[in-house]
Amino acid sequence: MQELILKPDEAIILAPGELIGAGDVPLRIRFGYANADPNTSANQFGKMERLLWENSKQQTGYQTAVYRRGDESRLIRVVPENPKPEDIDMENHSGNITIRAFKVEKADMLGWLPKHDDTLEWNKKIYTIRRFGPGVFYRDVGNYNVVLRIYVTEYRTHGTT
């Protein structure tokens, strides 16, 4: 059996019409995990954080969302977390607010950091980026700039009570 082992941060780019074939013997293509040589990597803990992110994306089905800022948008990979719905009653009006969190690969944001008036479209719904502290619209997940956690809200009104 032949093996093609891709290390973290490696990729194969095929030209149009170019193929990878097994030939006369089986070919296994796999992703090489934690046994990377520490002498060739800048930060093993950062690589472990990246591997956790890759695993999270795989476990949740490689979901994507559209992140919008004004007229510009980015297609980003997301890992949705469990929603937290809350009912609200105010001045004879009732409604529901759902707070969701999404983990997002920082590199997918292409230099953007979440801010006021940004939106996230996921699963045919548009969410508003939620501020959860003075001027704070995201949190870093981990210590190596791989993943952000952003919070979004969805409002639904039920009318008057």
| Neighbour tally for 100: CB within 10 Å | 20
Structure confidence at residue 157 as a pLDDT band (50, 70, 90): low
C-alpha to C-alpha distance for 29 and 15, rounded to whole angstroms: 18
Using CA atoms, how far apart are residues 133 and 92, in angstroms rounded to an integer? Answer: 28
Mean pLDDT throughout 76-91? 81
Rounded Cα gap, residues 118 and 153, in angstroms: 11
| Of 73, 65, 62, 86, nearest in space to 153 by CA | 86
Structure tokens at 88: 């609200």
Tokens of 146: 């791989």
Quote the mean pLDDT of the chain: 81
Q: Supply the pTM of this predicted model.
A: 0.65
